[in-house]
Amino acid sequence: MSVGLLSRALSALSVSRAVSPQIASVSGVSAALTGSRGFMTSACVCQNRSLWKQREKYTVRPIGMKKTGGRDYTGRIVTHGIGGGHKQRYRMIDFQRLRYEPGREDQPIVEKVVEVRYDPCRSADIALVAGGSRKRWIIATETMEAGDVIRSSSTIGRMAVLAKEGDSHPLGALPIGTLINNLELLPGKGAQYIRAAGTCGVLLRKVNGTAIVQLPSKHQIQVLETCVATVGRVSNVDHNKRIIGKAGRNRWLGIRPSSGLWQRKGGWAGRKIRRLPPIKSFVTPAQ
Amino acid sequence: MFNATVQRIRTPAFKITKNCKSKDCHSVLYMIPHGRRFLSTSSCLYGKFLPRKKPRVVHEIAGLEPITYADRMHFVPGLAKPRFPPWDRGWKDPSHYTSPKLEDMPLHKDKPCYMFNQRTNVLEGVRQALWLSKSVIIKGLPAQILALAEDPANQIENQDERVQDAIKNSRLWDTTEPRPPRERFCPSLLHRLLHLCDGLQVMRPELAKRILAEKYSLAATWRRGEDVFQVRGQNGLLLNSMTPVPVLAGEEQIQSTADQALETFYPIAPTIDLQRTHIYQEKNDTGFREGYPYPHAHTLFLMEMGNTPKLFPEQLRAKMVMFAFGNALARAQALYGKEPRVLEKPIVVQSVATNGRLFQFVVFQLNTTDLQSDSGVKNLVWVDEDQPLYGFAKVWPFIKKKVVKVPAGLSGYQPNTFKKFLALYLHGAA
């Protein structure tokens, strides 16, 4: 509609009266059929800001990041309290444990932990694991050390597997009561839940072809039993016990001070004691 | 995402105005990467551009021909964009050349090849290099070389003084800046030590039958199991000689290696960190032409200066072993042909690597080119690790709480390291 309005306005300004575009736009016929050319009213927004995260090929090398300062593409602050802080390099983490190397899909995934190190982009530590001819970063579990051998499997046997910390199995293969982390919601999608330092979920029960897991927030979710999760707690267990100590350390972490303006808190503030919400199911009825 | 790396390119002709400084107009741009135009001065100078968005995907429906405006010779809204066959210029214009897809390149092969080049940083270090070259390791240098090192007749006069002078020259007195960088003192020290060793030519004329070569490209191919491996690249300084290096291990030692098993490191495959490529040429080239007067590779000197890329001592020793093996294999294939066989006269190549202070010595003896299977006679490697030539060479003393911990100047000099260096140099001529 706006294109039609603009073209009408511009044709009104020109000397030669172009009758057909006016009639065409008034009667609502599309410009393509009547032969008037449209034009773009907005410039192409192609910015350099998010190009550092457009890399498709996986690499172990850390990638330089661009900080946003809480601002979006318009330049306005969308999230307050973000900005500054030490420069960080992003290490691409492989959240899908069951990723097979091309050419070795039939062999079980066995990997050796080469190094466990600090990651500036998250609270947990990360581990460099090497298996076959490839290396990748994964989220390290609590007692993972250099030299450990970890396995990832996709088989669900009749008997539950004796879960070793660091290994990853489908939920259907784990005994109930195991502590798990890096949980997938849909099989093959990659871990989205329970990735923060020191967290762990509990496998509560297995029903039909699904499993019910309690997340660290005490919420319970139901996922397919073929979803893969890693056994154990995430590394850096004492992360919540750390003391920042001074305002400067918060600034090093990229956290800007909050606004000092006193505001009356409304109904949203304060402790709430409510019952747990019902179990959220990520299993569609067709499955 | 980044199809082309950011490179510095030259100024285009149309941007050179009379207000430009002369340094901007060094040369005119006639190669625009990917046919894209740069619309600002800084992007012209630095070749940095935002990537073009991929064009809208037009799906072809089988059986339906799209009606295009090709015959009308102008754009008609509503009709499809005509797709013309790709135009062939007829001759090769270097500034408008698009390379073919990987599968269409002439050297493309289905079987991948794993390449070891001078930038490779193997994860498992020497163990991986031993598996790749089918060798067995012996810690310490062989007895003949140690005997050469201890023999007082092989010393240079005032050897310790002259070596310490050489170290002080390259580490302390080379520059007016506070301390010379490693890229400067490491090659400087190595060349001074080689010059010292060359001074013995007066006593031993056989030492004159050698030459140093730099920036030569090595290529060696072999098969291990079902995979093809290659060593390629410009590795370092090579000392060539007219006569081959004498064989170190006797026949019984060579045959006893057949009983030793190669070490594997499951779950890591031996091909990790090697460059995997489908486009390669199975080349075997010593780096020198036939008829070169110094055909036998004697010693390879590697310098580790931490720039391309920084190698830990274990990885540096692996690089030494692989390149010594590559040199030996290329020489064997030039002498005896490409047929895999057990050599009656094993080929010995030595290697010395340094980072300016620590020296690593490797002696590689190639006994067999039959590397397909894991069994049989194996090659021998003698490795002497982490020999410091000196402890510290500081310009300023290191003082902690008013106590001098490390004095200024050279401290912690070890004479044995240079004796081994000299012995490796004299081996074959003494």
Q: What is the pLDDT of residue A287?
A: 62
Give A100-138 pLDDT, tens digit per residue: 999 899 999 999 999 999 999 999 999 999 999 999 999
The answer to whether residue B4 neighbours chain A at the CB level (below 8 Å) is: no
Tell me which residue in B1, B53, B269 faces A133 most closely, judged by beta carbons: B269
Query: Exposed, middle or buried: residue B30 (CB in 10 Å: 0-12, 13-18, 19+)?
Result: exposed
Within 10 angstroms of residue B424's Cβ, the number of other Cβ atoms is: 26
Chain A residues whose beta carbon lies within 8 Å of the beta carbon of residue B266: 110
Specify the residue for token string 């509609």.
A1
Distance from CA of A73 to the nearest CA of B (A): 16
Chain B residues whose beta carbon lies within 8 Å of the beta carbon of residue A33: 78
The CA distance from B56 to B65, in Å, is 18
Q: Is B14's pLDDT higher than 50?
A: no
Asked whether the beta carbons of residue B267 and residue A131 sit closer than 8 angstroms, the reply is: yes
The CA distance from B417 to B420, in Å, is 5
Tell me the average pLDDT across A195-214: 94
Tell me which residue in B51, B267, B276 faces A111 most closely, judged by beta carbons: B267
Within 8 A by CB and 6+ apart from B196, the residues are B156, B162, B163, B166
By C-alpha distance, the chain A residue nearest B2 is A55
Asked whether the beta carbons of residue A32 and residue B267 sit closer than 8 angstroms, the reply is: no
Residue B233 belongs to what H/E stretch? strand B227-234
Tell me the average pLDDT across B349-354: 95
Q: Is B50's pLDDT higher than 90?
A: no
Asked whether the beta carbons of residue A55 and residue B51 sit closer than 8 angstroms, the reply is: no
Give A9-37 pLDDT, tens digit per residue: 555 454 444 444 444 444 444 444 544 45
The CA distance from B315 to B113, in Å, is 21
Q: What is the pLDDT of residue A34?
A: 47
Within 8 A by CB and 6+ apart from B246, the residues are B144, B348, B427, B428
Distance from CA of A244 to the nearest CA of B (A): 31
Coil, helix or strand at residue B176: coil
Closest CA to A218 of A234, A241, A202: A202
Mutate to test the interface with A, among B268, B271, B314 (most CBs of A within 10 A): B268
Find the helix packing angle between A2-13 and A19-26, rounded to 10°. Answer: 150
Q: Identify the band that residue A7 occupies on the pLDDT scale cut at 50, 70 and 90.
A: low
Pull the structure tokens for residue A8. Answer: 């009408």
Give B159-205 pLDDT, tens digit per residue: 999 999 999 999 999 998 888 999 999 999 999 999 999 988 888 88
Coil, helix or strand at residue B10: coil
The CA distance from B356 to A155, in Å, is 53
Residue-wise DSSP of B237-287: EEEEESSPPPP-S-HHHHHHGGGSPPP--TTB-TTTTSEEEEE-----B-S
Q: Identify the band that residue B334 occupies on the pLDDT scale cut at 50, 70 and 90.
A: very high
Q: Identify the band that residue B7 occupies on the pLDDT scale cut at 50, 70 and 90.
A: very low
Give B358-373 pLDDT, tens digit per residue: 999 999 999 999 999 8
> B136, B380 in Cβ contact below 8 A?
yes
Q: Identify the band that residue B54 occupies on the pLDDT scale cut at 50, 70 and 90.
A: confident
Residues 13-42 of A with CB under 8 A from B: 31-33, 35, 37-38
Query: Exposed, middle or buried: residue A62 (CB in 10 Å: 0-12, 13-18, 19+)?
Result: middle
Within 10 angstroms of residue A128's Cβ, the number of other Cβ atoms is: 20
Tell me which amino acid residue B12 is.
P
Specify the residue for token string 């871990």.
A191
Q: Is A282's pLDDT higher than 90?
A: yes
Strand partners, A220: A214
Counting residues of chain A whose pLDDT is more than 90, the rounded percentage is 74
Chain B residues whose beta carbon lies within 8 Å of the beta carbon of residue A46: 50, 53
Q: Identify the band that residue A192 occupies on the pLDDT scale cut at 50, 70 and 90.
A: very high
> A71, A243 in Cβ contact below 8 A?
no
Q: Is B235's pLDDT higher than 90?
A: no
Give A145-187 pLDDT, tens digit per residue: 999 999 999 999 999 999 999 999 999 999 999 999 999 999 9
Tell me which residue in A46, A51, A130 faces B1 most closely, judged by beta carbons: A51
Q: What is the pLDDT of residue B75?
A: 94
Residue B311 φ then ψ, to 5°: -110, 135
Residue-averaged pLDDT of chain A: 86
The CA distance from B167 to B147, in Å, is 25
> B229, B114 in Cβ contact below 8 A?
yes
Give B17-28 pLDDT, tens digit per residue: 444 444 544 444
Closest CA to A227 of A256, A248, A250, A206: A206
Tell me the average pLDDT across A39-48: 56
Counting residues of chain B whose pLDDT is more than 90, the rounded percentage is 66
Closest CA to A234 of A173, A178, A182, A174: A182
Tell me which residue in B50, B78, B271 faces A46 most closely, judged by beta carbons: B50
Q: Where are the beta strands (DSSP E) in chain A?
A: 63-64, 89-90, 109-118, 125-131, 134-139, 149-152, 168-170, 179-181, 183-184, 191-193, 201-207, 210-214, 220-224, 228-231, 280-281
Counting residues of chain B whose pLDDT is more than 70, the rounded percentage is 91
Nearest-5° Cα angle at A187, A186 to A193: 55
Q: Where are the beta strands (DSSP E) in B91-142?
A: 108-116, 135-139
The answer to whether residue B276 neighbours chain A at the CB level (below 8 Å) is: yes
The CA distance from B256 to B251, in Å, is 9
Q: What is the pLDDT of residue A10?
A: 53
Distance from CA of B43 to the nearest CA of A (A): 13
The CA distance from B378 to B370, in Å, is 9
Distance from CA of A77 to the nearest CA of B (A): 25
The answer to whether residue B205 neighbours chain A at the CB level (below 8 Å) is: no
Chain B residues whose beta carbon lies within 8 Å of the beta carbon of residue A130: 123, 267-268, 272
Q: Is A3's pLDDT higher than 70?
A: no
Q: Is A92's pLDDT higher than 80?
A: yes
Give A154 or A285, the one with higher predicted confidence.
A154
Within 8 A by CB and 6+ apart from B81, the residues are B58, B68, B69
Q: What is the pLDDT of residue B155?
A: 85
Query: Exposed, middle or buried: residue A134 (CB in 10 Å: 0-12, 13-18, 19+)?
Result: buried
Distance from CA of B308 to the nearest CA of A (A): 15
Q: Is B231's pLDDT higher than 90?
A: yes
The answer to whether residue B268 neighbours chain A at the CB level (below 8 Å) is: yes
Chain A residues whose beta carbon lies within 8 Å of the beta carbon of residue B50: 46-48, 51
By C-alpha distance, the chain A residue nearest B50 is A48
The answer to whether residue B91 neighbours chain A at the CB level (below 8 Å) is: no
Strand partners, A181: A230
Q: What is the pLDDT of residue A39?
A: 52
Tell me the average pLDDT across B332-357: 93
Q: Is B348's pLDDT higher than 50?
A: yes
Specify the residue for token string 């300023």.
B396
Residues 45-64 of B with CB under 8 A from A: 50-51, 53
Tell me which residue in B53, B77, B266 faces A46 most closely, judged by beta carbons: B53
Q: Where are the beta strands (DSSP E) in B304-378?
A: 342-354, 358-368
Within 10 angstroms of residue B253's Cβ, the number of other Cβ atoms is: 15
The CA distance from A22 to A5, in Å, is 9
Q: What ipTM describes this predicted complex? A: 0.83
Closest CA to B357 of B397, B413, B312: B413
The CA distance from B355 to B377, in Å, is 34
Tell me the average pLDDT across B403-422: 93
Pull the structure tokens for residue B152. Answer: 């007082």
By C-alpha distance, the chain A residue nearest B75 is A37
> A171, A211 in Cβ contact below 8 A?
yes
Residue B297 belongs to what H/E stretch? strand B296-303
Residue B240 φ then ψ, to 5°: -100, 150
Q: Is A208's pLDDT higher than 80?
A: yes
Distance from CA of A273 to the nearest CA of B (A): 49
Give B379-389 pLDDT, tens digit per residue: 999 999 999 99
Tell me which residue in A32, A48, A56 faces B78 most closely, judged by beta carbons: A32
Tell me which residue in B53, B267, B276 faces A149 most closely, judged by beta carbons: B267
Give B94-125 pLDDT, tens digit per residue: 888 888 999 999 999 999 999 999 999 999 99
Tell me which residue in B50, B268, B269 faces A48 most closely, judged by beta carbons: B50
